[in-house]
Chain A
């Protein structure tokens, strides 16, 4: 036997068509693992108290709005929803607005200490929230910002800014300077070039960043728990109340979870196309 014979690869006959059924198997498994818990949560939300605590899981039952009525009437969860919406939308708006200019400056201009600035921006993100809750509480107390929406908006804007700056700096670097330069040679001012040329090209990236920031602000828990009590309480801390204690009412917890997840899911479905094109920008050209 020659030496080459040892390395020969014996090929089977070619299949009649592409064999890729295993891809669907994996996809199905991933979807099942991801969606079944959520589906169960939705089902629980529509159960009555008895069904939700029964030892044997019941897939078929008469749906009821008992849990929702309780949350809306007794617990005034819609107030929390409103607070959450105002705080997260406002903080997203301000952090993206400020962050866009900051990222533009970092991406386009050379100035002394540029690297230090961008690193310092990032370090703000490294600090665990728990470490600063106490000082921030005292600051808020002094400035009379405790339990106000304004306080949370300011805080979240500051918290999300590093994230926005870092995401957008990369995206701005991907847009060639040529575009602005050519607009300026063509007779436009710097801001005109930025607004008419760079910004439209950045729309998908900015949208993607904004969606991320919105989700982060919407789900923020630690600060909201300590800095709000009644007036400006957002959804995450208010929902925690139903998950602690000895007798957890599963149907009420399920309904509360639906309140907090549904708006974000609907929103992301709405902007899905923009979101994905923004995320893949700079990767796929």
Chain B
């Protein structure tokens, strides 16, 4: 009899135990397509591999298909074509409840009629965990996220930051194989967002669960990601590390989308004079380093329209015409931001943004139309094809980055 009882207890513990924790969880998407109706292609042949434990960002403007991609990984949207694998398991057309993913929604999706505790406990209740086990788990996760004191309140009594924490707690409370986050910070104010960025990054590394994060905020992606996938109109633009995205953008879209303020883009043509290469457009002429122009056949063609790209922080500005400051411009607008100043200047028909340290520029004449001279850093120039918008070559190609 005693023996029977013991085996019963044993059976129960086995029943309530968590599913075996899968140690290596990589996510792989291949040829993923989602069409809505007959005409709208939201996601167009997306291929992506997320290695185990990485923090990967889907970045793009609204309507680029990043949220749809995430929803397909969660199983809330079924793909039209393609294959989704989580931890080597094909989950393409599996219902969400069997995928073992945790998700945070943009508006958190917290249940208004339940307290914080009940909200966090929901995924455990669904799995019929014992009352004590639930209390212990919820207590532990609330401790981690510092929401212990609001645990018995309703969601409508919480601040934005607390709501966000509760949503994250609900995602963390069970041992999900993959975490998915759909713009979870878009409702927070700027200060709180900066704080949560650091905290979330720390938490992700601590827990080490593969995480996919959707955002339209390039700063969020740049600061937190191990890897960023930039999307546009359902297509992948580039899938690389933040540094590579910033320094070696695959096309003009990626170059302008990442970085604040955004990269200056100037229509130009390539000219060769006196054994030197120039990028010349209306109102400016910039000498190009021949070393990196040699790397690309296409970039040396002088017969086709091109675009010169240079980031605001890679332009030096001077009030006096000095050596190398070849672009003459006039002051258009001045925005002080504290440690750095933003100048918008006019060169011919182009408006060029320049970012310069306040220490160097605080005595500048900022009157409208005041004369200034610009010098783009020759090692930080980009050339884009005007038709395809692809990056033809870039100065940084001479010094390969460590991705």
**Which A residues contact B (CB, under 8 angstroms)?**
176, 178-179, 181-189, 192, 197, 200-201
Contact = CB atoms under 8 A, between A and B. Distances in A.
B126 A185 contact: no
B109 interface: yes
A186 B76 contact: no
B101 A185 contact: yes
B107 A188 contact: no
Contacts of A186: 97, 102, 122-123, 126, 170, 174
Judged by DSSP, the binding face of B is loop
B105 A178 contact: yes
Interface of B: 74-76, 95-97, 99-103, 105, 107-109, 111-113, 122-123, 126-127, 170, 174, 180
B111 A185 contact: no
5 contacts: A178-B109, A179-B109, A182-B170, A185-B102, A186-B170
Judged by DSSP, the binding face of A is helix
Contact of B122 (A176, A178, A183): A183
A211 B76 CA distance: 35
Contact of A187 (B76, B108, B126): B126
Contacts of B127: 187
A179 B97 contact: no
Given A200-B113, A201-B112, A201-B113, A187 B97 contact: yes
B204 to A, nearest CB: 18
Nearest to B103: A185
- Which one of B95, B102, B111, B127 has the greatest number of beta carbons of chain A within 10 Å? B111
A95 to B, nearest CB: 25
A82 B264 CA distance: 81
A181 B109 contact: yes
List the 5 shortest-distance A-B pairs measured between CB atoms, nearest first. Answer: A182-B109, A186-B123, A178-B109, A187-B126, A200-B113
Contact of B76 (A176, A181, A188, A197): A181
A187 B126 CA distance: 6
Contacts of A189: 97
- Which one of A176, A179, A182, A184 has the greatest number of beta carbons of chain B within 10 Å? A182
B170 A184 contact: no
Contacts of A185: 74-76, 96-97, 99, 101-103, 180
Contact of B111 (A179, A184, A187, A192): A179
Nearest to A182: B109
- Which one of A176, A185, A200 has the greatest number of beta carbons of chain B within 10 Å? A185
A106 to B, nearest CB: 19
Given A188-B126, A197-B111, A181 B105 contact: yes
Contacts of B107: 176, 178
Nearest to A183: B122
A189 B127 CA distance: 11
B113 A187 contact: no
Contacts of A176: 107, 109
B105 A184 contact: no
A178 B187 CA distance: 16
Contacts of B112: 201
Contacts of A183: 111, 122, 126
Contacts of A187: 97, 100, 123, 126-127, 174
B109 A184 contact: no
B22 to A, nearest CB: 16
A80 to B, nearest CB: 40
A186 B108 CA distance: 13
Contacts of B126: 183, 186-188, 192
Contacts of B76: 181, 184-185
Contacts of B96: 181, 184-185
Nearest to B107: A178
A201 B101 CA distance: 25
Nearest to A190: B95
Contacts of A192: 126
Contacts of A178: 105, 107-109
Nearest to B104: A182
Contacts of A179: 109, 111
Nearest to A189: B97
A197 to B, nearest CB: 6
Nearest to B74: A185
A188 B111 CA distance: 14
A178 B109 CA distance: 5
A183 B100 CA distance: 12
Given A178-B108, A185-B99, 6 more contacts: A178-B109, A179-B111, A185-B75, A187-B100, A188-B122, A192-B126
A189 B98 CA distance: 10
A114 to B, nearest CB: 14
B172 to A, nearest CB: 12
Contacts of B113: 200-201
A179 B108 CA distance: 9
A110 to B, nearest CB: 9
Nearest to B77: A181
A188 B109 CA distance: 14
B208 to A, nearest CB: 21
A197 B180 CA distance: 21
Nearest to B98: A187
A137 to B, nearest CB: 46
A183 B118 CA distance: 12
Contacts of B102: 185-186
B111 to A, nearest CB: 6
Nearest to A184: B96
Contacts of A181: 74, 76, 96, 105, 109
A239 B111 CA distance: 48
A163 to B, nearest CB: 26
Nearest to A199: B113
A185 B170 CA distance: 11
